[in-house]
Amino acid sequence: MSGFLVLLRHGQSRSNLEDRFTGWQDVGLTEEGREGARHAARLLAEAGLAFDAAFSSCLTRAVSTLRIVLGEMGQTQVPVCSSWRLNERHYGALQGLEKAEAEARYGEERVRAWRRGYRSRPPAADAPGTQHPGIDARSGDPLQGPSPLTESLEDVSRRVLPYWFGEIAPSVARGGRALVVAHGNSLRALVKYLEGLSDDEVENLEIPPAHPLVYEFDGDTKPARRYSLGENEPG
C-alpha cells in the first residue's frame, strides 16, 4: 500500500455527554468515550493498519483517545506529536454553555450558523486569552502568545493547514502511515482541503466520534482513495 492517513475524532467527552460547547476547554473522556477508542483500535487492527507516526491536539480528550488506540493495537512505540494547531475550534462565549442554553440566549438560527458556517464566529470570550494548562508541556509546536477568544471554521483552517503541509503531508506523500486524532472542527477543516469541498458543502459535513476515516495516497498530498471503517466497505 502507498502512504495512508487515518483521521479519528476523539471518543465521547464529559462535555459531549452534557451537550455543551467545549472548544478549548480541557475535559476528559467518559467511559463510553474510552470504549469508543478501544472499538476504533479494533477496527484499525482488523483492517491490518499499522502506523509509523501519530499526531493529536493538545487537549486531553484527543491525547487520551490516541493513547488508548495505540495501546490497544500494541503500537506504543509509534512517535507521537501533539500540537495546538489540531485543537478544536475556540467557541468564544459559547464555551461551557449547554447547546439548548445557547439557543435560548442567542436564537437557534444564529447558533446553527456559528456551529456549521465556514466564516461565522461566535461572540468572543470575555476573559483575555491565556496559555491553557498543559498545552506547552504537550506541544512540540507551542502556542505563541494568548489563545484565541473566538474562531470560525475558516480560522481553524488557517492553523490546521500549515501543520498539515509542514508536518503530516510530507510523511504520507513518501509512503508513511499516519494517524491523526483530533476534533470535529479541526478534522472538518482538514477534510475540506483533502476532498476539495466548497464552503457550503463543509456546512453539512459530520465527523462521527471514534470512526476511523482512511485516506490512501499515491506520492501526492491529495488522496487517491477514501473510506470509513465500521460504516462502509472500502470503495
Assess whether pLDDT exceeds 60 at residue 150. Answer: yes
The pLDDT score that the predictor gives to residue 14 is 94
Assess whether pLDDT exceeds 50 at residue 43. Answer: yes
Q: Over the chain, what is the mean pLDDT?
A: 91
Phi, psi for 55 (deg, rounded to 5)? -135, 145
Assess whether pLDDT exceeds 70 at residue 131. Answer: no
The pLDDT score that the predictor gives to residue 2 is 80
DSSP annotation string for 56-68:
E-SSHHHHHHHHH
Q: Residues with catalytic annotation?
A: 10, 88
Are 68 and 38 spatial neighbours (Cβ–Cβ below 8 Å)? yes
Task: In whole angstroms, give the CA distance from residue 11 to residue 183.
Answer: 9
The pLDDT score that the predictor gives to residue 133 is 45
How sure is the predictor about 232, in pLDDT bands with cuts at 50, 70 and 90? very low
How sure is the predictor about 132, in pLDDT bands with cuts at 50, 70 and 90? low
Assess whether pLDDT exceeds 70 at residue 98. Answer: yes
Assess whether pLDDT exceeds 80 at residue 134. Answer: no
Task: In whole angstroms, give the CA distance from residue 173 to residue 177.
Answer: 9
Average pLDDT of the segment spanning 69-88:
96
- Residues 6+ positions from 224 with CB-CB distance below 8 Å: 2, 216, 217, 218
CATH of domain 4-228: 3.40.50.1240
Burial bucket for residue 21 (CB in 10 Å: 0-12, 13-18, 19+): buried
Assess whether pLDDT exceeds 90 at residue 140. Answer: no
The pLDDT score that the predictor gives to residue 173 is 84
The pLDDT score that the predictor gives to residue 231 is 63
Average pLDDT of the segment spanning 150-169:
96
What is the grid cell recorded at 127? 476573559
How sure is the predictor about 109, in pLDDT bands with cuts at 50, 70 and 90? very high
| Domain ranges, ordered by start, for the chain | 4-228
